[in-house]
Structure 1
Amino acid sequence: MDASEVSNGASPGPGPDSGAGTDAPSRASAIVAVLAAVGVLVSLMQTLMVPLIPVLPKLLHSNASDASWAITATLLTGAVANPVFGRLGDLFGKRRMLLLSGYILVAGSLVCALTDSLVPIVAGRALQGLGLAIIPLGISIMRDLLPPKRLIPAMALMSSSLGIGGALGLPIAAIVAQNLDWHVLFWGSAIATLILMALVTVVVPESPVRGSGSFDLPGAVALSAGLVALLLAVSKGSTWGWSSATTLGLFGAAVAVLLAWGRWETRTKAPLVDLRTSARRPVLLTNLSSTVLGFAMYAMSLICPQIMQLPRATGHGLGQSLLATGLWMAPAGLMMMVVSPFAGRLITARGPKAALLSGTAVMTVGYVAALGLMGSPVGVLVIACSISGGVGLAYAAMPTLIMASVPASEGAAANGLNTLMRSIGTSTASAVIGVVLANMTISFGTTQVPSLTGLRVGFLIGAGAALVAFLVALAIPARKSAAPTSVVPDQRSPHDRPTGAAGAAAGSVAEGTAGAAATDAVEARA
């Protein structure tokens, strides 16, 4: 079967198929390597400014509250970008939207590199946030192009890039911030992104799988407004006051707008997010588990660095510098890369549900063990590595569960929604753990620092979240086949199905012809 037929009549476009003499396995490996590298870079953007947080007010000539918008802006635009760019990718080409997202990230990096003022920095960081859509787009491209035997390990590696980039970002940013001008961080990110976008253009072909219909602009506007209101309330509630009129008003507006958006999505002919597909039990429970898992993952990221950096004189701090903390924590993120091959084999042998259950169980045990291991840097390293290993197993399972339950033509949007749910979980963790550590303190000199009890409560909350994710995962229906190319009936409504030869080809992919279309897409280019 010619893979281009799946594209609803659209040509896959220029890509690496012009190169001769490269066999299919080598081409598939190159696609995986480039997309995983892009994923690492994008996830690094999330930790790029962490070492600068204490000095941001001075650098940007503003107060601490205003300077924090340089962090919040990336969170908000990243949340909006995931479902919107996902749907655009399904309609107009996943690689095309991945490249657009990458070049917007470059633009944001350049804006930040060329200014010392608050407003341009916030604008640049908001543009960088749009780059977060690259990871779900990359996973969907893998689903469309790779042979079945390569697909699950590749998606596991792509998912692990979230942890790898986060782990490398902290020490790299700390070294640059301590020894060079802080603008170097953004020059470096712009140059690295340009190089990787060039590699994507050369190595990664356009996905042949396309959806049909039109882009749901009203739905995109409503979803964006609802998400911004929700995440603003969650991320700024502790600063504004949880009972303040602003916070409560944003929560109320978020509920009203998102309910109206949901009603619209179930009535429009070409929804931004197919809520009927998202309501299927496997998809719904996977997304719920992803939200709680995001909470559980981020709790560790908030607590462990604080233990490392608190002064030893507090009795429970370990007195490490920012750079030393970053170096101690780096192996935790790399652990996600270490477990990704094992996660791929586990998914292949036992199914994605087994990997998700194993990961959340490991995280729960890791958080409980943290209560007795937090007295030394080595102990904190063990805590972080064990929890991150569990995250790696669980994250590897998420895209496989989603892709096995949605039509191929909705893959990018479905992955974007799953990534969004994870972001909501991490944002909620930031708010909840922040409140706990801010209210359970001891006096140290003239300041208040988190108490030992507060840190332990934070670990217990993380354990509870991981346990909830485990219980939700238990309810996910088991599948006979682990692969996303297994039989998945095309349950799109007739208006959204391709017709003719394109419809037959698209249906065969959605209904799982053992990955024939995906194999053809790579081998035809070799």
Structure 2
Amino acid sequence: MYAETMLIPAIPDLIREFNVSYSTSSWILTAYLVPGAVMMPVAGKLSDIYGKKNVLLTIMAIYVVGITIAGFSTSIYMLFIARAIQGIGMAMFVIAFGIIRDQFPREKISIGQGVISSMFASGAVIGLLAGGIIINNYGWHATFFSTIPVAVALFVVIWRFNYERKMEPWEQAPERIPAANIPKGVDVKGAIALATFVTSFLLALTLFETGSAGLQSAVQIAIFIATGAVALVLFILIEKRARVPLVDLKLMAHKAILPANLIIMIVGFSMFMVFQTIPVLVRNPHPLGFGGDAAMAGYVQLPFALVLLVFGPTSGLIVERLGSVRPIIIGTSITTTGFLFLLTFHNDWVSVAASLAVLSTGLSLTNVGALNVTILATPAQFMGMSVGMNTLLRIVGASVGPALAGVYMQTYQSTIEVANRPTAFPSMQAYSTIFLTAVILSVVSVMLAVFLRRRLNKMSIPNLA
């Protein structure tokens, strides 16, 4: 998260430097997220077959290549390509959570998840603080260069010291889902179909600007939507017939796993919609923004990251004490409240920072609880695939979040004079529409959490009540 949050305060700089629209700028995040979404289940499956350490080191090496190219980017398209390569590194997350399942006792898994979540938050805190300062003094290229030595050092540490624990016989075949031997192989066709579906949908969303799309844009949007629809149908057919599916549709439809995954998808949507929106709001000039610099953009989002840091391990303890579902209900309710605050009070940076702190509290509880449901409801031999599916949906949601925010910011604009020249910026209506969308989806997540609790009351999986 250090590398990801460092670039966030620079989004307005990138828009100006490369002269791109707000909807196109969303691909600074989306180009990173789409390959990550596709690679999550692939990496999960590969880690089941070839071992978590080997796959983790390979992905880390690819990640270092991506951030190096990004640091030398001289055009927006070169940056998009570099971000896509960097996005493959997101598959490290699914392997990390799989390692937790291997290394921690069953009753301590939620605490392990909390520790990992707190590490995400620690990186986010450092990234936001350092990113704004680095961008102000050295430019956005330096954010990538500062990451390279850290990534190389982590590679060496994992190579030298990480080991894999052999599963005990009783862990191999939990009774709640029939066990099966895992055949080797990777579903390449499924991965291509999934990538085509997600990319086509997001390209259509990027091209869509309410009230301004001409005939040519409408035709392009229709082509992308049709391509995405065909790719989705092919993906489902491929997964049903695949000997080694990328996404196990039966496992995904599990009574506990499906609603938990949908909640996780909304969490991803919410977080990255915030990441796309807040820097623009902070850095745009008065009266359509707060008139701040890159450092201020980081400081306003700092409460969000600090609460994640505190609630990472704390959420794990809460889940261990209360079970997984009650924290999800509480967390989704708090998240809804946080977005209501943002919808109502986004005219000054203090209100925005306070609202982000509330929002972060809810997301922390929701994230750990929903992930714990997925892990405890999945047999050990399918853990990589299941956590991969979970993270896949999180990243799909995260991909849509900034893309939709970019469309709203490009659609609803007002013009003010900057340096004696009329310049268009997102209006307050754009931000209100973004936060209203998040409120509606958060209410849906509350309903899903209540539905999940009713389902689990009829099941007998321990530690989930």
- Using structure 2 for the length normalisation, give the TM-score: 0.85
Alignment of 1:343-362 (within 5 A): 343-362=315-334
Residues 348, 482 of structure 1: 8 Å contact kept: no
Letter in 2 for 1:224: A
Aligned-pair CA distance for 1:291: 1.9
Residues 94, 137 of structure 1: 8 Å contact kept: yes
Aligned-pair CA distance for 1:391: 0.8
Candidates 475, 478, 496, aligned match of 2:451: 475
Candidates 179, 184, 203, aligned match of 1:214: 184
Residues 235, 430 of structure 1: 8 Å contact kept: no
SS in 1 for 2:247: coil
Letter in 2 for 1:86: G
Change in Cα spacing, 1:179 to 1:224, as seen in structure 2 (3 Å) is same
1:131 aligned to 2:89?
yes
SS in 2 for 1:320: coil
Letter in 2 for 1:424: V
1:406 aligned to 2:378?
yes
Letter in 2 for 1:154: G
Alignment of 1:137-152 (within 5 A): 137-152=95-110
SS in 2 for 1:475: helix
State the alpha-carbon separation in 2 of the partners of residues 348 and 69 from structure 1: 38
Change in Cα spacing, 1:175 to 1:116, as seen in structure 2 (3 Å) is same
Candidates 57, 64, 70, aligned match of 2:20: 64
The match for 2:204 is 233
- Percent sequence identity is 26
**RMSD across aligned positions (CA):** 2.9
Aligned-pair CA distance for 1:466: 0.9
The match for 1:89 is 47
Residues 336, 388 of structure 1: 8 Å contact kept: yes
1:20-60 C-alpha deviation (Å, 9 max, x unpaired) = xxxxxxxxxxxxxxxxxxxxxxx23333433444444786x
Change in Cα spacing, 1:221 to 1:440, as seen in structure 2 (3 Å) is closer
Residues 34, 399 of structure 2: 8 Å contact kept: no
1:486-520 C-alpha deviation (Å, 9 max, x unpaired) = 9xxxxxxxxxxxxxxxxxxxxxxxxxxxxxxxxxx
1:116-163 C-alpha deviation (Å, 9 max, x unpaired) = 355654433222111101111100110011123432111123235444
Candidates 38, 46, 55, aligned match of 1:80: 38
State the alpha-carbon separation in 2 of the partners of residues 456 and 223 from structure 1: 32
State the alpha-carbon separation in 2 of the partners of residues 372 and 67 from structure 1: 26
Residues 157, 396 of structure 1: 8 Å contact kept: no
| Structure 2 portions without partners, runs of 5+ | 173-180
State the alpha-carbon separation in 1 of the partners of residues 199 and 325 from structure 2: 32
State the alpha-carbon separation in 2 of the partners of residues 125 and 160 from structure 1: 24
| Structure 1 portions without partners, runs of 5+ | 1-42, 487-526
Residues 304, 384 of structure 1: 8 Å contact kept: no
The match for 2:267 is 293
Aligned-pair CA distance for 1:238: 4.4
SS in 2 for 1:213: coil
1:266 aligned to 2:240?
yes
State the alpha-carbon separation in 2 of the partners of residues 340 and 394 from structure 1: 11
Letter in 2 for 1:223: L
Residues 72, 235 of structure 1: 8 Å contact kept: no
The match for 1:155 is 113
Change in Cα spacing, 1:399 to 1:165, as seen in structure 2 (3 Å) is same
The match for 1:244 is 218
SS in 1 for 2:90: helix
Aligned-pair CA distance for 1:114: 4.5
Change in Cα spacing, 1:109 to 1:428, as seen in structure 2 (3 Å) is closer
Letter in 2 for 1:473: A
SS in 2 for 1:49: helix
1:390 aligned to 2:366?
no
State the alpha-carbon separation in 1 of the partners of residues 62 and 97 from structure 2: 19
Letter in 1 for 2:433: V
Alignment of 1:5-154 (within 5 A): 43-56=1-14, 64=20, 71-114=29-72, 116=74, 120-154=78-112
SS in 2 for 1:230: helix
Letter in 2 for 1:436: Y
Q: Name which of structure 1's ranges 422-431 and 158-167 shifts more when overlaid on structure 2.
A: 158-167
State the alpha-carbon separation in 2 of the partners of residues 309 and 57 from structure 1: 12
Change in Cα spacing, 1:167 to 1:258, as seen in structure 2 (3 Å) is farther
1:466 aligned to 2:442?
yes
Change in Cα spacing, 1:436 to 1:69, as seen in structure 2 (3 Å) is closer
Aligned-pair CA distance for 1:386: 0.5
Candidates 274, 294, 304, aligned match of 1:322: 294
Change in Cα spacing, 1:372 to 1:246, as seen in structure 2 (3 Å) is closer
Aligned-pair CA distance for 1:317: 3.6
Change in Cα spacing, 1:229 to 1:451, as seen in structure 2 (3 Å) is closer
Change in Cα spacing, 1:482 to 1:333, as seen in structure 2 (3 Å) is farther
Letter in 1 for 2:412: M
The match for 2:176 is none
Residues 156, 397 of structure 1: 8 Å contact kept: no
Change in Cα spacing, 1:246 to 1:357, as seen in structure 2 (3 Å) is same
State the alpha-carbon separation in 2 of the partners of residues 406 and 142 from structure 1: 14
The match for 1:180 is 138
Aligned-pair CA distance for 1:181: 5.2
Residues 36, 91 of structure 2: 8 Å contact kept: yes
The match for 1:198 is 156
Change in Cα spacing, 1:319 to 1:68, as seen in structure 2 (3 Å) is closer
1:414-458 C-alpha deviation (Å, 9 max, x unpaired) = 222222212222232223333333333333221233333443333
Q: How many equivalent residue pairs? A: 439
Aligned-pair CA distance for 1:235: 4.2
Change in Cα spacing, 1:109 to 1:294, as seen in structure 2 (3 Å) is closer
1:296-355 C-alpha deviation (Å, 9 max, x unpaired) = 33343344434433434x2x6433222112122112112112112331122112221112
Residues 237, 431 of structure 1: 8 Å contact kept: no
The match for 1:435 is 407
State the alpha-carbon separation in 2 of the partners of residues 404 and 354 from structure 1: 15
